[in-house]
Structure 1
Amino acid sequence: MENISVKYFTKAEFNTEEPYRLLFQLRNNRFKYNQIFTTLSENASDVGFKGFGRMFKAFTEERADKGVVIDNITKFEGQEMELKTGEWIADDFGVRRCNDRNGEDIACVHPIMPVERLVNIDTGIEKLKIAFRKGNTWRKEIYDRRTLASANNILDLANNGVAVTSENSRYLVRYIHDIENLNYDIIPQKSSVGRLGWINDGFSPYIKDLIFDGENNFKKIFNAIKTKGSFDEWLKVARDVRATNSPARIVLAASFASVLVKVLGKLNFMVHLWGSTETGKTLSLFLASSVWANPGEDGFIQTFNGTQVGIELLEGFLNNLPLIMDEFQLVKDKKMFENTVYMICEGIGRLRGKKTGGLQDTPTWKNCTLTSGESPITNNSSGGGAVNRIIEMECKTKLFHNAPEVADIVRRNYGHAGKAFVLLLNNDFAKSMAMKLYKEFYDSLRGDSTEKQTMAAAMILTADTLATKWIFTDDNPLKVEDIEQYLHSKESVDVCARGYEYLKDMLAVNQYKFFEPGKAPISEYWGTVSGGKINIIKSIYEKICNEGGYDPKAIASWMKQRSYTETSEDREYKRVSINGSKKWCVCIKETR
């Protein structure tokens, strides 16, 4: 552009339009604009005119009211689209605008612009994908509108490398707001999701053009769910495992079954491998993980080294895919972990309030959780609900004949089977076939096992039958007897029945602490033996139950209902004369 001659204005002339019109005409030529702006600012200062910047801003606003558009555009090298910026100058030197103090408001010292608007298909919440460049590399990050709308919250962008401080944060907020509204029809809008699993008529992450907008903590797991390597190589290994009676094949089938839980409308369940080291428990989880994702170091397999809140958030994110956790021995308080088992199998997180009032979104999920460790999750004192929800399999021998080869192959080949399975399942005919198979297996399994155990086993058998037909084509599905041996019986699930057996064991070991009426008691006694009954002093009975992890009142009621005890009419206990005084006792019939 040719040189422009700029006259020297008097103080009075700065109250006319002439100097501002000259500057306004150069608004799209940043270099000449800055030259003339500096010259006129110095001129105004020399003649004692204050407020040059304020007057120019008023002039531009007046032109905007008259339909004279300030048509600045983004001029970033390597930008993926050109956006209108209004009064903002946006080029490789950053983003700024003129202010009324003869200076500039700097929003950012490097290129930055919104490039995509994301609408979450679960919540309807909008987010913006922001592109920014420092040096020669463009980066993109997704942010909540709440973050981008506040001068304080937008400082979080600094964590990703955006040059925002408390000094320029309010200008950056204004710039992003302005540029989005000026280009609402230009900035593309896409659907997004913050979780995995079934979504309307599709399955995340296999829905085309669906973008992940969830927590950065989960991005690593999301990105691990992909296909890699040879499907045939993976199939060969999986078929070899399926040809054995190893519990690993049940874990493999349970991985497929996870996506059936919602389709069939059934309850969540857990499958747990336990036993000594070097049996192949972790490798079994690797194989199950490779159905969907990279089983290596990318984070799909978790450990028990975390909190209940962390597990809750992971379950909500995975949603219908299996949560896979290794190393149960890392759990310090195994009794308290029962609460986590209930939460996992109920499929809903804890209700929490917001600092600003109201309730946070509560995570929900419908899936299977696969775990392993050196010991069972449940024990004799575990609640019946916890025992009922877990299929536990002890690994007494090695689960794989060629463990190193299996590990190597599933690390290099993964993700094909799960994707194919859900794509083949995602139609009405396949879903009705799954429901029919489930009912057949459920009826075949109904026997001594509980309803919840039967339900879980039927889902595993259904998934394995479908996978045999669609994926493995080896005519070698799991049979009812393959899994039936691992199911808990109704009696073993009943915590009161287990508590009663524990009580009888304790009485047998300590029978010398009971004496017959009329005989001298020993120094420490628990009660008497008379008339075919064992009379245990109530406080002693409660101590025995509590030390074993059982509820004494529940067991006393359970025994009364089955006429295992003699009681007062309205109580679970009976007053018995012991050593000259009446005491409340639990009176167990010896024949029981």
Structure 2
Amino acid sequence: MTKHTNFPTPGTESENVVTFPNNSDALHPEEHPASDGHMPDGMPDGFLLRDDGIYQLRPGDDEDLEPVKICSPLIVKGQCRRPSGGGWGRVVEIQNPDGGWHELILEARDISAGPAKIVTPLSDRGLMVTNAAKAAQSVKELLNAWQPAARYDRVNHLGWVDGEFSAFTLGDGRVIGDALVVPDHGANHVAAAMHAKGTLEEWRATVAAPCSGNPLMIFALSLAFSGPLLSVLGREGGGFHLRGDTSKGKSTLQRLAASVWGAPEFMQDWRTTDNVLCRENLAA
């Protein structure tokens, strides 16, 4: 499973990262290596991406342009919109203080608003805005002007994104496939429970292997893997009713199947569904 990106996540070896030379003459934008095709796609003039953050070229005491750090590393990977043509925004990836990278969607309407509207969700995910004068305003200006050529489709459902089976979205934000799509699941509790823990090798050794010789366990795992194949094969879905006395392993089989896709919370309770239906009927 891969989380596709339009270009490599920045690091010290990335060609998208600009390292400032010690020679002060190289700080002028027309002479800086960033002006020679080393900036990420669509990054506006006057801003530079370095391995430790974003810098803005500002006039110094002697009127020469000097790099001033405004925030920790971030990249605008592309613009995004919904299939209907609305819901425009930016697909942004930021680096938190622990070195991890997080992808999120920034709404175009928020980018056009005041700095606080756009900096708050970024800071919540770990972006560090510096104490430089008007740093937050500079971050807003950067995001507003940064318009890469890549176009992403916003997808608000899990699974296959189209009838061509070009990509498959998972609840933790990962995308399997080549299509440029960005998950837009919001606060979906099912999507939130779909996340990985441990490794594939550990799952095979501690979950799958012990099922050998037990037809019900093998059946449960097989059903868990069958969902994505139904639409590919043009088949309709269905369900199976596991019957038996209490404490005979029915819930264990459910947890076993849920482990294919995420945490135990991925299991859904029919009783909860009944309650939801009752509330909807009363509201109607």
TM-score, normalising length: structure 2: 0.55
Equivalences, count: 240
After TM superposition, give the deviation of residue 158 of structure 1 in Å.
0.3
Task: Identify the residue that residue 141 of structure 2 maps to in structure 1.
Answer: 174
| Residue 87, structure 1, aligned to residue 59, structure 2 | no
Q: Which amino acid aligns with 1:157?
A: L
- The superposition leaves residues 544-580 of structure 1 with CA deviations (integer Å, 9 ceiling, x where unpaired) of xxxxxxxxxxxxxxxxxxxxxxxxxxxxxxxxxxxxx
SS at match of 2:177: coil
Matches within 5 A, 1:343-492: none
Matches within 5 A, 1:508-527: none
Over aligned residues, Cα RMSD in angstroms? 5.6
Indicate if the aligned counterparts of 1:130 and 1:143 stay in contact, CA closer than 8 A: yes
Residues in 1 aligned to 2:229 and 2:74: alpha-carbon distance in whole angstroms: 41
SS at match of 2:78: strand
Residues in 2 aligned to 1:271 and 1:341: alpha-carbon distance in whole angstroms: 25
TM-score, normalising length: structure 1: 0.31
- The superposition leaves residues 438-463 of structure 1 with CA deviations (integer Å, 9 ceiling, x where unpaired) of xxxxxxxxxxxxxxxxxxxxxxxxxx
SS at match of 1:108: strand
Residues in 2 aligned to 1:128 and 1:120: alpha-carbon distance in whole angstroms: 9
After TM superposition, give the deviation of residue 164 of structure 1 in Å.
3.5
Matches within 5 A, 1:160-559: 160-164=125-129, 167-178=134-145, 180-181=146-147, 184-185=148-149, 188-189=150-151, 193-198=155-160, 199-202=162-165, 204-205=168-169, 207-210=176-179, 211-215=181-185, 221-224=193-196, 228-229=200-201, 230=204, 234=208, 237=211, 240-242=214-216, 256=226, 260=230, 263=234, 276=246, 278-290=247-259, 293-294=260-261, 298-299=262-263, 301-302=264-265, 324-326=267-269, 328=271, 336-339=275-278
- The superposition leaves residues 26-47 of structure 1 with CA deviations (integer Å, 9 ceiling, x where unpaired) of xx989747999xxxxxxxxxxx
Over the matched positions of the two proteins, sequence identity in percent amounts to 11
SS at match of 2:138: helix
Indicate if the aligned counterparts of 2:46 and 2:57 stay in contact, CA closer than 8 A: yes
Q: Which amino acid aligns with 1:228?
A: L
| Residue 117, structure 1, aligned to residue 78, structure 2 | yes
More helix by share: 1
Residues in 1 aligned to 2:68 and 2:176: alpha-carbon distance in whole angstroms: 41
Residues in 1 aligned to 2:229 and 2:197: alpha-carbon distance in whole angstroms: 14
CA distance change for structure 1 residues 195 and 85 in 2, over 3 Å: closer, same or farther?
A: same
Indicate if the aligned counterparts of 1:193 and 1:213 stay in contact, CA closer than 8 A: yes
Indicate if the aligned counterparts of 2:69 and 2:130 stay in contact, CA closer than 8 A: no
Residues in 1 aligned to 2:239 and 2:27: alpha-carbon distance in whole angstroms: 72
CA distance change for structure 1 residues 127 and 105 in 2, over 3 Å: closer, same or farther?
A: same
Larger relative CO (CA 8 A, sep 6+): 1 or 2? 2
Residues in 1 aligned to 2:27 and 2:275: alpha-carbon distance in whole angstroms: 72
In the alignment, which of 49, 65, 70 is matched to residue 108 of structure 1?
Answer: 70
Task: Identify the residue that residue 156 of structure 1 maps to in structure 2.
Answer: 121
In the alignment, which of 94, 103, 112 is matched to residue 141 of structure 1?
Answer: 103
Q: Which structure has the larger Rg over C-alpha atoms?
A: 1
After TM superposition, give the deviation of residue 190 of structure 1 in Å.
5.1
Q: Which amino acid aligns with 1:213?
A: P
Which segments of 5 or more consecutive residues in structure 2 lack a partner in the other structure?
1-19, 170-174
Q: Which amino acid aligns with 1:95?
A: Y
Q: Which amino acid aligns with 1:161?
A: G
- The superposition leaves residues 193-241 of structure 1 with CA deviations (integer Å, 9 ceiling, x where unpaired) of 343234212162485124543347566544449993459x948837632
Residues in 2 aligned to 1:72 and 1:273: alpha-carbon distance in whole angstroms: 71
Residues in 2 aligned to 1:217 and 1:84: alpha-carbon distance in whole angstroms: 31
